[in-house]
Amino acid sequence: MRIAIVKNAKELGERAFVEIKKVISEKPDAVIGFATGATPVALYEKMADDHKHGGLSYKQVKAFNLDEYVGVDPNGKASFKRFMADTLFSKIDIDPANTDIPNGMAQDLEAECARYSAAIKENPADLQILGIGENGHIAFNEPYTKPDEPTHIALLTASTRAANASAFKDPSLVPQYALTMGINEILTAKRILLLALGERKAQAIYDMIMGRDDTSCPATALRKHPDVTVVLDREAASLLTIKEWEKGSAQAEESAEAPATEQTEEAEQTPVAEQTEEAEQTPVAEQPAETEQAEEQPEVREEAAESAPEAEAETEEQVEETSAPVEEEVAESGPPTDEVPTYPEEQEEVAATYEDAGEEAEVEDLTVQEEPAQENRGKKKKKHRR
């Protein structure tokens, strides 16, 4: 699992587009699995813009969407079919005959699910784009969905219906059911690109990457996949870096007079998070994902933590503020809170998580060259509003 942390929706679109370009340049008749929702809009804008300016052609591309509401007019604004047409398909040269989405108006929904499952089996995605729900769902596979369920009729949770209410005149009009590709069907894609923006997604992202590996967070299934790229903004990544912020804050204190280049390789490559003052000072590293990094850096971290008790205390406050839900969640569904390791043990825990998942994660940050650590000190908190 590779994790790229970007500054905002626009950068997310640009970073995600790199993956699309890679796949379609290699294979012009690629099968792309598309997702709906607010998150991929920046990517679709980038695709449309690139195409308009003579970039990629989608003439031979085949598109399959993840899901669709049951009982919503496909021409109506709330339908995912219409969303795809308005947001992307009408702006690129894809052949509408090459686009498919479950038909939530089918007379026989079971038969429609079987049709869609067969179509996916015949056309496994070269790249599957995914969002993530606040409850960790992927497509409309809500918590506790069995991974081996093929395309099926899903009962939407109250939180999912609430999150999707803005497309409907009245929240009560959000359908209770949707047709959705199944989890294992999603995993048949050769590559997966999961996108998330905003604080609302931070818990789900934490659970997906570091939480207990079970169906309570359907996105944890992605740990089994060998080629997953996760592109996040800093808010969505915020819970992944709590202990790193602690370290980063201390490190920043210590190196206030030292140029950023004197920090470790990882620190140089990683961004300074902007969410809080503490975070602004952090040459954050998203080592949660990377065993090797965890092994390479302990000295710096320990040293930093020891040398800046003040910063540590300050950050402690922030941890309390921002991590309370995490701790509750951990206490409920994972290791007890008092077992949540503190730095540097946390790194070992993380490494173990990844070893368990049998995968390797890399963290990438696109912002570092533009925004060296020293320039970020004192910036105000930034939030994405969508």
Give the residue numbers marked as catalytic. 67, 135, 137, 142
Rounded to a whole number of angstroms, the minimum distance from the CB of residue 112 to ligand PGA is 21
To ligand PGA, the closest distance from the beta carbon of 131 in angstroms equals 3
330 is a contact residue toward ligand PGA (CB under 6 A): no
- Structure tokens that stand for 181 in this block: 């590709």
Q: Which is nearer to ligand PGA, 18 or 38 (CB)?
A: 38
List 20, 132, 330, 373, residue binding ligand PGA (CB under 6 A): 132
Stretch that binds ligand PGA, among 32-40, 112-120, 177-185, 313-321 (CB under 6 A): 32-40
Cis peptide before 96 (omega within 30 of 0): no
Q: Of 201 and 243, which CB lies nearer to ligand PGA in the complex structure?
A: 201
Interface mask (CB under 6 A) for ligand PGA, residues 38-57, using x and -? xx------------------
Q: What residue type is assigned to position 241 of the chain?
A: T
Nearer to ligand PGA, 39 or 367 (CB): 39
The footprint of ligand PGA on this chain (CB under 6 A) covers a number of residues equal to 6
By C-beta, is 52 or 386 nearer to ligand PGA? 386
The answer to whether 260 contacts ligand PGA (rule: CB under 6 A) is no
Using CB under 6 A, pick the residue from 13, 37, 218, 271 that binds ligand PGA.
37
Q: Which residue is nearest to ligand PGA (CB)?
A: 37
Stretch near ligand PGA under the rule CB under 6 A, chosen from 37-45, 270-278, 306-314, 315-323: 37-45
Which range of residues in 130-138, 331-339, 347-355, 377-385 is near ligand PGA by CB under 6 A? 130-138
- Choose which of 13, 131, 248, 344 interacts with ligand PGA (CB under 6 A): 131
* 54-58: Cβ within 8 A, 24+ apart: 55/21, 56/20, 56/21, 56/24, 56/25, 56/92, 57/28, 57/93, 58/24, 58/92, 58/93, 58/94
CB-nearer residue toward ligand PGA: 129 or 311: 129
How far are the Cα atoms of 18, 19, 38, 120 from residue 180, in angstroms, in the given order? 27, 24, 18, 12
Q: Indicate whether 133 belongs to the interface with ligand PGA (CB under 6 A).
A: yes
Q: How far is the CB of 37 from ligand PGA (least distance, A)?
A: 3
> Smallest distance from the beta carbon of 128 to ligand PGA, in angstroms?
12
Are 245 and 284 in contact, with CB atoms under 8 Å apart? yes
Strand order in the sheet with 152-155: 67-69, 177-180, 152-155
Could you list the residues that contact ligand PGA (CB under 6 A)? 37-39, 131-133
